[in-house]
């Protein structure tokens, strides 16, 4: 997990090692979301598709899986890294919940 701040346009500048990792992937699309409505997460699209399969198949507590999947899809959006190594967060995701004063993010590799 890396603490971060978005710029005034809602973009996150990725660390160089993240940019390098993402550039090595065959699919460049990302899924930017939050599973808990507090911490943003960036997933390479293939990793996100695996998460979706996991949510659908999870049987230990299907309501929790359904709630997490709902949050992720409600807040999430496809994104790509721009030529300057930034990822745009959609407006829904970058609007902090009431009573919370910051933007935190997390990036996960595939």
Q: What does the pLDDT read at residue 26?
A: 94
**How far, in Å, CA of 17 to CA of 65, rounded?**
31
- CATH domain 11-107 topology: Chemotaxis protein chec (3.40.1550)
Domain ranges of the chain: 11-107
Structure tokens at 64: 């929790």
pLDDT single digits (tens) 26-45: 999 999 998 888 889 999 99
Residue 83 has pLDDT above 90, yes or no: yes
Q: Which residue has the higher pLDDT, 93 or 11?
A: 11
Residue 100 has pLDDT above 70, yes or no: no
Task: Quote the pTM value.
Answer: 0.81
Q: Could you give the percent of the chain with pLDDT greater than 70?
A: 86
Cα angle for residues 29, 103, 1 (degrees, 5° grid):
65
């Amino acid at each position: 997990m890396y603490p971060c701040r978005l710029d005034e346009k809602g973009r996150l500048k990725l660390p160089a090692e993240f940019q390098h990792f993402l550039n090595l992937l065959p699919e460049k699309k990302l899924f930017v979301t939050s599973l808990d409505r507090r911490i943003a997460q960036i997933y390479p699209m293939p990793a996100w598709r695996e998460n979706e399969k996991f949510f659908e198949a999870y049987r230990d507590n299907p309501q929790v899986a359904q709630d997490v999947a709902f949050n992720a899809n409600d807040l999430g959006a496809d994104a790509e890294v721009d030529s300057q190594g930034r990822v745009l967060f959609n407006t829904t995701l970058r609007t902090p919940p009431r009573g919370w004063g910051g933007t935190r993010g997390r990036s996960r590799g595939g």
